[in-house]
Each structure stands twice: as structure tokens, then as C-alpha cells.
């Protein structure tokens, strides 16, 4: 099976959303598909001018969706997104911020400090959380801060997992100041130099991710936990992924660190039934 929906079923996201009602699941898939299109543009290796043109078309597609003209593109995925935006009253700003994050990738990927990287994490990950909570539903405005912190936690785990593959694309997300502090050269990330300095750096960045997980957990209002169970499943799966990275003593070079499908399914079921994942 090919196409965006097939790839969706192979992601961590799929296991987070299996328990959603059909209408909400369709909306989440529409958002995922749209976000994936943007990722494909910046990851395609297109010349900069062409990639920039494609992002302009991407933004125009968003214009059409918010004008509820998704079907005018003769594109069922855009039509589904337009419908989801209308039904769940999803605000535009998170989508705009997401596109700004994609443009950051096109402009070049080096971040001097974590504050710089945090802006990127917000734009490419927290925005998806802010969109998703409108679909899930919530009663307490603290959920927005929950989504922001959880998004940053998940993105940091992605960055730690993909250090080498990102470097091969010319992207080094770990802050330059941290590389200098721990004595790790950028070229060592590309070549896969696994040494004590790298282990210490990864431990430091992993602790940072854990703090975002903890902050998100503290911000989750008890009365909204049930409607946000999909977000909590995602948190649990990525928490396990971070644990697997740590178990390998942060050796993320070579074979990609993954959570097996059966473990993801078991995690999803456990959280859905009320199990705590954060400890």
C-alpha cells in the first residue's frame, strides 16, 4: 500500500490516534498529510529556488483550505484538510508558524544556542500539537502550554535519534554552543564518531528533553486527560524511544533506534486504559 495514508500507518502517530472517533481520526490524518507535504519539499534536495517556489504553492494551498476551497484543487487531501479546519475551527496561526519552520530548514540548519533551536522546535512540532488539541478538544487553556512543551520534547527526541542522518542532509540541529562545551565537532556527527564527549553531549540533551516531558505532564489538567489521551499515547511512545536511546548509551549511529510496533501498540492500549507512562 502506497501514499500518505500508508506512510501514516507506519509512523508513531498512527498508534496514538487509533482510539479516536472516525471524524477526529480523519482530521488528524488530513493534518498529518499536509504537514508531510511540507517536509517532503524541504527534504527533497530540490534547488533552493525551486524548493522556495514549492513552499509558496504550499502556502497558497493553505489559503484555499481556509477559504474552504480545498476541493477546487481536485485534491482529496486538501479537501479533507479544509473540511477539518471548518469542523474543528482550527486557527490559522499554527499552520503559518509551521511553514516558517519549514523555511528555516531551507535557509540552513545551524543553531547557535538552545533558545534558537527552541524556536525551530516550536514551529515544526509544537504547532502540530496546537492544531491537534483543537481536534481532540479541551476545557482548560493550560492545555495550549501542554501542547507546546510536549511538541518540543518530541522534536528533541527526533533530533537525538536522527543526529547522523540529519548531518548527512547538511543539518545539525544540536546547538553550536553545546557542541563546543562538550568538545564535539560537527564533522564527527556526520562520520559517526562515538566517544565519551558525544555520550556526555547526548546525555545533556536527553535531560533537556526529559524536562520538557515533565513540564508538559505537570501542565496537563486532570479533567482534560481523557480527551487528550492520544497526545498522552504519543508522549508515552516517544518517552520509550528516548529510553531506548539511553539504553544504547546514546549510540544513535548506524541502525536507527526504534520502538517495535508491538510495543507501540501495547503502550497505546495501556495509556488508553489509564496507565501512567511518566516515571
Q: Name the CATH superfamily housing domain 11-272.
A: Farnesyl Diphosphate Synthase (1.10.600.10)
> pLDDT value at position 6?
42
> pLDDT value at position 3?
41
Distance CA 165, CA 168 (A): 5
> pLDDT value at position 72?
57
Give 188's contacts (C-beta < 8 A, 6+ positions apart).
195, 198
> pLDDT value at position 9?
57
> pLDDT value at position 73?
67
DSSP states of 195-238:
-HHHHHHHHHHHHHHHHHHHHHHHH--GGGTTTTHHHHHHHHHH
Burial state string for 195-223 with b = 16 or more CB within 10 A and e = fewer than 16: eebbeebbeebbebbbebbebbbebbeee
Q: What is the pTM of this model?
A: 0.93
As given in the structure block, the three cell numbers for residue 157 are 527526541
What are 119-141's pLDDT values in tens digits? 999 999 999 999 999 999 999 99
> pLDDT value at position 179?
98
Q: Do 5 and 77 touch, CB atoms closer than 8 A?
A: no
> H/E element holding 128?
helix 127-136
What are 55-78's pLDDT values in tens digits? 999 999 999 999 876 555 678 999
Q: Where are the domains of the chain?
A: 11-272
Question: What is the sign, positive or negative, of the torsion defined by CA atoms of 128, 130, 135, 136?
Answer: positive
- Residue numbers in the chain where pLDDT is lower than 70: 1-11, 69-73
> pLDDT value at position 56?
95
Amino acid at each position: 500500500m502506497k501514499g500518505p495514508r500508508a506512510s501514516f500507518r507506519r509512523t508513531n502517530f498512527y498508534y496514538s490516534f487509533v482510539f479516536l472517533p472516525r471524524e477526529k481520526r480523519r482530521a488528524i490524518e488530513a493534518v498529518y498529510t499536509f504537514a508531510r507535504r511540507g517536509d517532503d519539499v524541504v527534504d527533497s534536495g530540490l534547488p533552493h529556488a525551486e524548493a522556495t517556489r514549492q513552499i509558496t504553492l504550499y502556502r497558497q494551498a493553505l489559503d484555499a483550505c481556509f477559504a474552504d476551497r480545498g476541493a477546487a484543487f481536485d485534491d482529496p487531501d486538501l479537501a479533507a484538510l479544509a473540511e477539518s479546519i471548518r469542523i474543528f475551527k482550527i486557527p490559522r496561526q499554527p499552520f503559518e508558524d509551521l511553514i516558517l519552520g519549514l523555511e528555516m530548514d531551507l535557509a540552513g540548519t545551524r543553531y547557535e544556542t538552545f533558545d534558537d533551536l527552541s524556536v525551530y522546535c516550536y514551529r515544526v512540532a509544537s504547532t502540530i500539537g496546537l492544531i491537534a488539541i483543537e481536534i481532540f478538544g479541551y476545557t482548560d487553556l493550560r492545555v495550549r502550554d501542554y501542547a507546546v512543551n510536549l511538541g518540543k520534547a518530541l522534536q528533541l527526541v527526533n533530533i537525538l535519534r536522527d543526529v547522523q542522518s540529519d548531518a548527512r542532509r547538511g543539518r545539525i540541529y544540536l546547538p553550536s554552543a553545546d557542541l563546543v562545551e562538550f568538545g564535539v565537532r560537527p564533522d564527527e556527527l556526520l562520520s559517526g564518531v562515538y566517544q565519551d564527549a558525544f555520550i556526555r553531549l547526548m546525555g545533556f540533551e536527553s535531560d533537556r528533553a526529559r524536562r520538557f516531558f515533565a513540564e508538559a505532564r505537570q501542565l496537563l489538567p486532570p479533567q482534560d486527560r481523557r480527551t487528550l489521551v492520544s497526545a498522552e499515547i504519543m508522549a508515552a511512545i516517544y518517552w520509550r524511544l528516548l529510553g531506548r536511546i539511553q539504553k544504547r548509551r546514546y549510540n544513535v549511529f548506524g541502525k536507527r533506534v526504534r520502538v517495535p510496533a508491538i510495543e507501540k501498540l501495547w503502550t497505546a492500549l495501556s495509556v488508553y486504559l489509564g496507565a501512567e507512562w511518566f516515571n
